[in-house]
Amino acid sequence: MYCITPVSTVNDSAIWHKINNKTKPIGALGKLEPLAAQLAAVLGHQHIKLMPQAMIFAADHGLARAGVSIAPSEVTQQMVHNFVAGGAAINVFCRQMQIDLEVIDCGMLSPLDDSLGVINQRLGAGTEAINVTEAMSLTTLEQGFEFANQRVEYHRQQGINLLLLGEMGIGNTSSASALMTALLDIDSDLCVGAGTGIDEQTLIRKRQLVADAVVLHQDKRGDTKAILAALGGFEIVQMTATMLAAAQANMLVIIDGFIASAAALAAVKLNPHVKDYLIFAHTSHEQGHQLMLANLAAKPLLDLGLRLGEGSGAVLAYPLIEAAANFYNQMASFEDAGVNSVV
For the stretch 297-333, what's the b/e string if a residue is b when 16 or more beta carbons lie within 10 angstroms of its beta carbon? Answer: ebebbbeeebbbbbbbbbbbbbebbbebbebbeebee
E strand segments, the chain: 52-59, 101-107, 119-120, 162-168, 252-255, 278-280
Whether the Cβ atoms of residue 111 and residue 105 lie closer than 8 Å to each other: yes
φ/ψ of residue 227, rounded to 5: -65, -45
Is 310 among the catalytic positions? Answer: yes
Determine whether 295 is exposed, middle or buried from the number of CB atoms within 10 Å of its CB (0-12, 13-18, 19+). Answer: middle
Terminal Cα distance for the chain, rounded: 47
List of residues 6+ apart from 2 with CB closer than 8 A: 244, 245, 247, 248, 270, 271, 274
Query: 46 pairs with which residues across the strands?
Result: none
Whether the Cβ atoms of residue 282 and residue 304 lie closer than 8 Å to each other: yes
Q: Which of 167, 200, 310, 322 is catalytic?
A: 310
By annotation, the residues acting in catalysis are 310
